[in-house]
Structures are given as C-alpha cells and as structure tokens.
Structure 1
C-alpha cells in the first residue's frame, strides 16, 4: 500500500506527517489546569487526576518528589515511580515505594539514588533507570553508603552493591551502618561488639571492640575496649598502639597525637608509638598547624613535631593567617591553603592584660607591652592593630610599627564618615585616616602615610577630602584650607574659606572684598591667573554625562586642559591652565569636558557633542541627551530615540519610539512604529520589531510576547518557543531550575498543553479548572 502524506496546520506552524504515523486525536478532558512543577490537575471521566509533564502518565496521587525529579505516585491503589521523562521505572503494582537519594553539587561522589519497593510485606530495590537490583525478598532495605545499600533478613543485616545489586555481605550482623571514622568503611556489629569492613565486604577489623572514634576523615582513629581505654589504629585497621590511654586527640598532622592518662597529657609520635613529649600537660588541643598545650590555666604552643615553640606561660593564644582570618578549624599543614586559610600563620599571645605577637615558628615579633593585639585586613592585606590604654597604632605582619601607638582610632576599613579618598589616586592605599580626641566630645581627623611612616596631616580637623591625587581639602568647623599629600599647608585654615584644588597645582578661591566678592584661579603660590565676579564655582556642580559612573562623585577638576566658568548666565566659557579664557561663542551651553569631549547646546536649543578643538563629534540636532547607563547616552529627536556612546559614536540610530535596557543584561527592548523587538549587545536584531508587547523573564531566560492580542514565548536567543497565536498562555508554576514548560494555552475554544518543543500533549479541554473544582 502506498504511503500517503498529510499536511496539518497546528499552533501556527505546518507539520508534515506520514499517513501511517498520523497523530491520534487528543483525549478530551473535563478541564485542564496549569502545571505546578511535575504535574497538572486534569479531569478525566468526571474524576480529578494528575498529568505528568511528559504527557505520558496520569496518576491519582503524588507521594514523593525526589532530588532527581523521580516521582513516587499512586494509580488505582498501587504504587509506582515515574522519572522526569515520564518513563515508568517502577511499575504501578507495589504496596509501597520509597525514593532514597542525595544530590551534592560540591561532592558528586556522595550522590546516589535508590528506589525501595514493597510487595506482600517484603522489600526489594530498583535503580533510577528502572533496573531491578533485588526482588522483594528482604524485610528491610536502606542506604548504607553512596555505593551500597543494606539488606535485612531473619533479623540480621548485610549489604549489596548500589549499581549492580550484587550481595557483597550476606546478612549476618546485628547492625550495619556507615562509618564516620574513615570514609568508605562500614561499621559492623555482632553480639554488642563493633568492627569495620570495606564496602566490598572485606573485614578490616573484626567485631570485637566497644566502639571507634575518628577525626574528620584523617588517616587515624581511636578504638575502645571494655573499661573505656583506647588505642590508635590506621585506616587499614592496623593497631598502632595498645589500648592503654583514657583519651586520644588528633594533632596538627597524622604524625603526632595527644594522649591522656588520668589527668596528664603527652604528645605521641605515631610512627614509633613512643611519647614525643612526656606527660607534662593537663590538656592539648589542635590549633591549625600547631598544638595548644596547657598546664592548669596557662597555655603554650608546640609545632607539628611536638617542640614547644611558645612556652606554657600564657593565659590565651589566638592563631591568624596571613589574610587576617582567625584560625578556628583544622589546618593539617603549613603548606597551601587549607580550610580556607592562607599561610603563613601568626600568633597573638596574652599574659593577663598584656599581649604580644609571634610568628608560627615561635619568633617574637612584638613584645608584651600592649593591652590588646588584633590582626585585621585592610584592602586585602593583613595588619596588626595595637592597643595600649586608650591609644592605638598599627604594625605590618612582620611586626614593624607603621603607625605609632598614639591615636584614639584608626580607619578600620569600614571608612570614617568625614574622610573621603575617592580621588586619592594610585597611592591611595598608602594613606590611612587617624583619629585623636581634641577635647571631650570632639574628635579630630588626621592623615598618616604608612609608606613613609609620617603623620602628614595632624589629627585636628573635622573633615578631610582628597581633591585629586596631590591635594587635600581641610575642614575645621566653618573654616577650610588646603594641604598637599606631603602635609605641606598650601592654604591655611580660613573662616568661611572657599578653596578647591582643581588640579595638582591650581586652586579656585573665593575672596571677599568691601564691595563684593570674586572667584579666582590661582597657583599654589597665590598668583592670580584668572578672576571673575560672576564665577559661581561648585566642586560638585557639573555636567557629567560623559564621565564614567565611578568618577562622578569626585570633586570637579581640570579635564582636557579646561575648567568651566559658570555663572551670570554664561554657560559656554572655560579657563585653561594658564588662566586664559576660552569661549564657545557659537553655543548657548557647553558642559564640562571629559576625554576632550563635551555636551553642547546651540542657540536654538539643539543638543550634540563637540570636541575641545570645537569640532562636531555628534551633530547638534538632538532635542535632548540623557544618561542611559555607565557606557551609553539616550538621545532624543522629536519622537525618536537612539543610543550614543560617550565617545560620540552611534550605538543605536535615531529610529525608535522607545529603548529600554533589559535589567542588567546587554539586551535592549526597542519600539518602532508601535511594535516591539529586541536588540543584542552589538545592537543587532535578536527579535524583529513585530510584537505589541515583550517582557523578559530573567530567571527563565525567556521573552513573553504578545502580537495582535495573541500570546507566545521566545527564547533568550530570539528563537520561537511558542508562536504568538494563542488567546491565553500560562506557564508552569514552578521554582528553581525546573522548566516553565509545559504551558497551558488556549486556541479558539480549546485549552491544551505545549511542551518545550512546542508539541501538544495528548489532552485537551474546553474548560480551565475553576478555583473551587
């Protein structure tokens, strides 16, 4: 028989289907509801049921949804399991099912998935692909390790391989459990005694001990015998010491441990089984790569070999890494970073109310003459804060004093409100603000150069602000002045003084006379280069459209050799660094220059961009020019808008009704002749301007589109996921990384579901589920 081909129009696209494979007519349901995760409520034969997102399976009730989106469900009073593709991996014939799984992105080796099934009181196991690992023949099954599962028969336990179902240990123990002494081992119990086995069933330690205690996956652990005594074993089950100790604590490495007998503690060399340090101490605790050892209330430090590097004469010891982090957890070596810490390490030691500073080898870097010492981080570099009485100072990590202990406070990297160093330049990190009590309730701010070890500005000011990389504005109440970065006073404090450094060498001053005032441009020596009675200077008043966002808060400076002279209706005048006035007469307004460019406005209020040599960078024909983001400007001409780069080059031409950046992406929704489209980061068309409405879902990376009152979905690359031919569209109500498909759509009188490929699921209805149904 000759095969016939039919052409069918579905969801706005043409599908070619061979006659012998023609799709069946979808089953008609009483109603459909939108999907919520893996299932949607639908009504079949007058009864509400649950449709899996694959469209392949309908169930009566959901029992459990696992990490791997395996679903245990009930159908006709029998239990089964469906995977994320809609395949039935445990048929609906069991009395009960359980999905046991773990998903750890940071440690995939710990992941597993096991399905237990129960039939007529017996339990079996199936893997996540539907393979039967063991038939229902056991009284219980549970996860033992990520590679094994336990089996129980006749009251005894054994275990099987998680992948193959092979019995690795026949049920013969009263209890089996995952060993947390050593990774990959299984704890076995028989007649009240404990032993250890490998996962493959090989017995390492016969069940003859009371219990075991491990140390965070180290190579060693303790074993206990009746009477509470313990000894040392390695992870191969080899006995390293007899069980003669009351307690054993892990050391900074597997070569050394602390052992305790009655009230005395010593340090044991694991290799020889002999005491490295006699039973001299009352306690020993691991501290990073070292041992803290105690005699009564006093403590000291030993190195990883047991040598006492800081004597037992201190009331407290704290360990810090080279980034200033307090070391609290285990660091097993002085090598590369461990547990998030960065060697080398340093020690703050205290004797009562005094503190000193040591390196990890026991070398004293700072003496016992401070009330407190703290290691802090500033600009990703560690420093040592020193406190003596009410005064503080700063040392580097080697113990060298870089800020003497003579201040009431030091900038602690959180910033001091009246100190602003945004414009301080490349040497910014050399300077630190310091505080001193001037009188009760009054604190002064000063500036210390840590590179030279000099207090460049005494702590007597109420505020300091860098004007540029050389000059600093001084404030004291209602007086102000200027100093350079060496501390040399350029302008002494003056009541109501107005001094603004507009370059490393030039200053704008306001001077008052009997008949008025004038604003002047002067050099450091005070020579007047330019003056005007009408110049209204403000360090923060400027047109900064062309300035990068990071510099917009900086005080106004000469840029491209010019400084704008504002005031008295003149908005097109500038002064150069010699004091010569330069006017852009042909323009009504010229903004501040940056990178040799400025925004300009013509006498008839047309806007554009010009260069410092009066050339037109972008034609002055715009109605308006505003900021779009850090890189772009929005230009407007009539009812059209476009985007301009800050160098004056066009990013998007003036041909759009609206332009809106999509959140923090490099995508732009544009409107042209009332229709919307999407452009990419290069300004190229991603979605043609054919739509009435476009909304972007950042979480789902999809565009929701409307065209001629019909709804659809597009991918982030502009591809059509669901063509806009539907009267209504509701996405899967889900969370996390789950797909927003299937979607519930309405076309004509029918509701139906579409999957992520735009294909319909085999159910349709003329009604959407009501609120109370």
Structure 2
C-alpha cells in the first residue's frame, strides 16, 4: 500500500457514522471499493460510478488526471473539471475539456495550468481556480508560453494573458509559436514571413524574415533572409549586421561571434559589427570560454576576444577545467550529469603522435614530448597524467613533474591491483600506487610519495596493504615482508612468511621449525618480546562489537595497550607492548579492547563489558550481546531485551520483550508484555506499548497498527490518525502523493470512508467491491 509523505494531526476525536450526534445520515451504496488515487469505485442505484476523494463529486468516467491533480471527467454525458479539493472549476456542461499544465520543480518559472473547454464547436478557457478567462468563442486555444495562451479565430492567431485572460494580441497572424531564440519571445508569421513579438503583444521584429536562430541563453540571435543569408540581431530586435553571412555561430561571450562566408570563417566584434579576425578559418567551434579554430585539418585556440593563444598548427585540442572535467561547448561532461565548468582552464594540444600542455592564456606548460596527456583527479587534487609510449607519470597543473614517466600505470586503489590504503592515516593522499610490468601481462605494484617526489616502494610486489599509518605489508607471490612509509624494509620478503605490524613499533610474525610453528611479538629491530606456539594470529579476525564501522576492515592493532592472544587454550589472555602477558582470570572470555573497554563473559557464560583495568563497565549478567547498528548493541537477559551504547552506557534498559529499529529512521518498535509501542531517538515513548502489531510504512511515514484485531493508523510523531477500532482498513493506492487517505474502513456491518481529518465521506455500504462486481 502506498501512502502520503506528510502527516496530518487530528484536531479531536474522529467522527463516526454510527452514533454521531447531529451527523447527516450518509447515502447507502451497493458497494464501496478502496480509493486508487483521486477516485474510488462505488455502486449507486445499481450503477458503478466514481467518487472523488473529497466526497463532494461523483462522476461516470475519468478522462485525465493532471500533474496538479485537476481531473477532467464525464458526468451524464457532459465534460467538466474537478480540482484536488473536489470543487468543480469547469461545470459539467461542455462537449469537451482539456487540462494543459506543466509542473517543473527545477524551473518553476516554466509552470502553468490552463483548462480549455469546448461548447458547440467553440473553445474557451478557464484557470485552475475556475475563473473564466475567455468564453467559448474561438476555434482553438493552446498554450503559447507559460504566461500566455494562443487563440484562433477566422483562421488567424493572437494570444491572451494566462492569468487574467486579457487579450494581448488580436488574431491577425497565420501562425504564432513560442520562440526559443530569446526567452519570452513569440514568433509571429504573416504571408509566409516571420517576426518576433513580446508576450505583452509588442511587435519587436515585423514579420519579414525567413527565420531566426538563437544560441543557448545568449542575448544575440541571427536572422535569415531569402537566399539563406543571415545577419545578427540583439534581443531588442536591433539589426547589428546586414544579412551578408552564410552562417553565424555563438561565441564564448556576447562580444564575439563566428561568421561564415562561403568556406571561410572569421570572428566578428559585435560592438562594432566589424571583423576582429579575418575570414581565415575553415571552421570555428565554441569551446567553453574559448574558440577552437581550424585551418584545414589543423586547429588552435583563441581567447574570448579573438586572440589566437594557441596557433592553429595542431591536429587535436582538448580543453579541461580545473576539476579535470573535459569541456565540451558550453557544458562540462561529468558522466551521468552535467554542470558548469570551473576555471581556470587547461588545454592538451596534439601534433600527430605527440602532445603538449597549455594553460588558457596559451602559455606552454609541458612540451610536445608525450604521446598523450590527460587530466586525472587523484584524491583531493588534479594532475596531468603524462603518457610516453607505454610509460606514464604525473605533473601538477603548473607543469612541474611530480612523478617521472617511468611506470606502466597508476592505480590508486580503484583498479585491479592488490592495493589497500584504508588504514593509511592522514598522509594517505600523498601516496600513489604505481604499476610496472614484471612479467609479460603481469604488473607489479609499488608506492610513490607525491609530496617528496620519491618512489618509496619499487613496483615489484603483487600486493601492498597498509597495516597502520606507518607500516605496509609487502606481498610477492607466496612471500611477504614489511616496510615503513619511507620505504625502509623492516622485514625482508620471506617465503611463507607472515608479518603483521600491530603498531608502528610492534610486529607479529610466525616462524616455522621442524617441530612446528610459533607466533612471536617482536619490536621493529627483531627482538622477541613474546612467543606462543598456540597463538593463531589473524589480522582481520577480532571481536568487532565495539569497533566503529569505519575501522572494521582495518588490520588488527594494539588497542589500549593490549593485543589478544587468540587460539590459545584460554580466551582471556593478552599481551602488552612490552611483551608481558596480561590474563583476565576472572573471566572465561574477553574480546579485543577498543578505547579501553571490551566484551567479556563469566565462567557460566554471562556477558557484559569490562575496562582494561578490570573494572565492570556493564554487569556481566547478559545472555547475549549483538550489534544493532553502528552506535548501539542489543542486549538480552532471559526474556528481556535492552540497548547499550558502545561505551557501555545504557540506552534502553532491560525491560522489553523485543526491540527492533525502524529502517531509515531513528525510531524503535518495542514489545512489552506482548504489546508493541514506539520509542524515539532519545529512547522516550512515542507510541505507548498498547498494540498487537505495528508496521512502519516509509512511503507515507505512518505506522499501521492493530489492537484486539482492530486496525488503525498513526503518524510518525505518534499522533492518532485513525484509531484502531476498525474491523478492516484499506489505504488509498495513491501513486502521486502517496497519501493513504481516504481510507476504506469497516465498523460493524458498515463500510465507510474516512478523510485525512477523520471525517466520514457521505457514502456507506454493507459490501466491499469484489472481483466480480
């Protein structure tokens, strides 16, 4: 069932049909059906009809439901229109009606609503409030612009004001249409020629031209005369140049346009009407804030004033903005969407198989030494990726080389290389994963520090994994080792070696001997601090109940000064950074510490939380402790449930039968003594625990409740919308606004409708519509 996205509070108790003092007796119908949007099917006097959600209007047939929920419908063979409140705004007396409207949230200035009505072959207009804009006296009426509508009389067109119906232009043109050369203009046509007019009816350009063409949102446009020649006009209709050009194209500003005569194009200064750049180009294209100009197969760039900043000697030019987006015309390509580009701008110019890098002023930042150059966003910066044959490197946007061209590729944790830097710390963005071919078809990974300009780890490894902000695990086939962030080898590669940095200064390693293996805690220099042959260390295996969500994928580290010794015969033993064992003898199990606390169990498997100094943070009396979300834990004791915060403090006490978080909200459905209620984000009662069942509908943001086999509706704030006193409840199947109202309910032997205020609609029935009705 679909419901509304808003909640309506009841002013008082709901009015019920049965036993309501002073209430008018509703009309009895043969059957009622639930609402589907604006209407519900009901049977009146043996005939199926459609009841509007207001309860005010019954119609025989729906023609259309508009975006403003205006409904054109048929009643007793006549057409009319009903608004969302159920008011008749076009009475049911017309031969035809049509609702014309545009509802655009992104561009509300484009919105309009107009109703056309037809009577005895003539057309009139009504607005969305029912005001008659013009009587049925025209042969046709259509929307012209969001502020005007066209009228047709005696084969000629004029237009009227959309709001007032005032006649703005008498019907005197053979055609009128919305003009897109400049917003707010209307194209008028007479004797096969076109002109332009303002919406208020003022003729801006008399109808004597072939056509007009505009560009984007600029204030200029071109006009065309017989023979296909064109000239330039401004938005006031002033002729700026004679019609002597074959074509005119927009420039990066209103000051400069491209004009074409035969096969040559030049740049025209709009202010003077004279050529700023002679007719010397074979093609000119607007490229963001610049012009891309061509001489035959070679291209260059000019600035917004026509100065050639990059000579037309290149085979290709690509313009980028400072975010690394490719600039295409007036739009920046951003993949699935588009947005305005961000200066400053940079250009990659190619001459055959070589590429160079320029800024928008034409300053050459990198020479023609590369096979390709592309702008590449990495972390929080944008770089120029330099390609030379099969090798690549990086430069910053000033042209400074920050990584030499010597690598097979760059992969900053987004490609197929085995590189993971989620635990790399604050300097993470300084490091770039680089690739080099180690075997044919096989690339090794390494690490380059952009800040220092140094290759800290050569690209010879099959995988790199940051252990913490200082240490990196090295993998090469079945061998592993460790390096620090400067590239210093802390543990050289060892076949079947297992080295894991559990802090910047401590390493867990596994050593093999003829009589088996042993796991050791060592310092960086290799001195053994602790060893245990039963220790089964795994960097990604630890108790995560108290760990923040963002750190659950990080390798296991010393936390609060302790590291758990897993796999040992005792599940309560740790080792400190000095290698001294720390045993929590009072407990059967102690999980990994986080911020000084850990989950622990007693010998009889009672669960709680303790601190690193062995103090009880939450009593060890629980049967179970499980994750609820990133901030909370669900605790159980016997048949009771509660909630703990991850610092061990109580969010909800152990007094509920069950607790379930409502998805997409900070609300909780609780069960107490078999009855359900709702708590808010602070744990305070929103809905008392008085219901047998509560289901949250996230579309309507309402709770569907049942109590003693009776159904009702509650708002997201806990307010009663429909009390749980009905034997049956069907919500409105509304597709547009998701409103559940009116609802079809059953009380006793009667079916009836309730609106959003709880008031009954004026029909009831002893039967609900069946499949065969």
TM-score by length of 2: 0.96
In the alignment, does 2:191 pair up with 1:180?
no
RMSD: 1.6
String of CA shifts for 1:689-724, please: whole Å, max 9, x gaps.
111111100011010101111111111111111111
**How far 1:538 moved relative to its partner?**
1.2
Q: 2: CA distance between counterparts of 1:413 and 1:604?
A: 46
73-82 or 343-352, larger mean C-alpha shift: 343-352
In the other structure, the counterpart of 1:410 is: 410
Change (3 A) 1:329 1:756: farther
Change (3 A) 1:417 1:695: farther
Q: Secondary structure at the match of 1:550?
A: helix
Q: Secondary structure at the match of 1:375?
A: strand
In the alignment, does 2:59 pair up with 1:59?
yes
String of CA shifts for 1:572-599, please: whole Å, max 9, x gaps.
1111111121111111111111011101
In the other structure, the counterpart of 2:616 is: 616
The answer as to whether partners of 1:12 and 1:723 remain within 8 angstroms in 2 is no
Q: Secondary structure at the match of 2:572?
A: strand
In the alignment, does 2:323 pair up with 1:323?
yes
**How far 1:413 moved relative to its partner?**
5.7
In the other structure, the counterpart of 2:257 is: 257
Change (3 A) 1:115 1:9: closer
Q: Secondary structure at the match of 1:93?
A: strand
**How far 1:417 moved relative to its partner?**
4.2
Q: Secondary structure at the match of 1:570?
A: coil
Q: Secondary structure at the match of 1:125?
A: strand
In the alignment, does 2:565 pair up with 1:575?
no
Q: 1: CA distance between counterparts of 2:115 and 2:709?
A: 47
**How far 1:170 moved relative to its partner?**
0.7
Q: 1: CA distance between counterparts of 2:553 and 2:346?
A: 39
In the other structure, the counterpart of 1:364 is: 364
Q: 2: CA distance between counterparts of 1:104 and 1:744?
A: 33
String of CA shifts for 1:147-180, please: whole Å, max 9, x gaps.
1111111111111111111101111111111111
**How far 1:658 moved relative to its partner?**
1.1
Listed as ranges, the gaps of 5+ residues in structure 1 are 1-6, 333-337
Corresponding pairs, count? 757
In the alignment, does 2:410 pair up with 1:397?
no
In the other structure, the counterpart of 2:492 is: 492
In the other structure, the counterpart of 2:95 is: 95
The answer as to whether partners of 1:256 and 1:270 remain within 8 angstroms in 2 is yes
**Superposition pairs for residues 426-441 of structure 1, below 5 Å?**
426-441=426-441
In the other structure, the counterpart of 1:562 is: 562
Q: 2: CA distance between counterparts of 1:331 and 1:657?
A: 58
In the other structure, the counterpart of 2:453 is: 453
In the other structure, the counterpart of 1:465 is: 465
In the other structure, the counterpart of 2:354 is: 354
- Bigger relative contact order (CA 8 A; separation at least 6): 2
Q: Secondary structure at the match of 1:574?
A: strand
The answer as to whether partners of 1:289 and 1:331 remain within 8 angstroms in 2 is no
In the other structure, the counterpart of 1:335 is: none
**Superposition pairs for residues 183-198 of structure 1, below 5 Å?**
183-198=183-198
**How far 1:9 moved relative to its partner?**
8.8
Q: 2: CA distance between counterparts of 1:688 and 1:383?
A: 59
**How far 1:13 moved relative to its partner?**
11
Listed as ranges, the gaps of 5+ residues in structure 2 are 1-11, 333-337
Q: Secondary structure at the match of 2:426?
A: helix
**Superposition pairs for residues 138-157 of structure 1, below 5 Å?**
138-157=138-157
In the other structure, the counterpart of 1:768 is: 768
Q: Secondary structure at the match of 2:565?
A: strand
**How far 1:514 moved relative to its partner?**
3.4
In the other structure, the counterpart of 2:283 is: 283
Q: 2: CA distance between counterparts of 1:471 and 1:261?
A: 67
In the other structure, the counterpart of 1:665 is: 665
Q: 1: CA distance between counterparts of 2:55 and 2:644?
A: 50
String of CA shifts for 1:35-94, please: whole Å, max 9, x gaps.
111001000000000000000000000011111000000000000000000000000000
String of CA shifts for 1:382-403, please: whole Å, max 9, x gaps.
2222211111112222222222
The answer as to whether partners of 1:11 and 1:725 remain within 8 angstroms in 2 is no
In the other structure, the counterpart of 2:424 is: 424
In the other structure, the counterpart of 1:3 is: none
Q: 2: CA distance between counterparts of 1:763 and 1:45?
A: 12
Q: Secondary structure at the match of 1:566?
A: coil
Q: 2: CA distance between counterparts of 1:137 and 1:39?
A: 33
**How far 1:529 moved relative to its partner?**
1.4
The answer as to whether partners of 2:14 and 2:758 remain within 8 angstroms in 1 is no
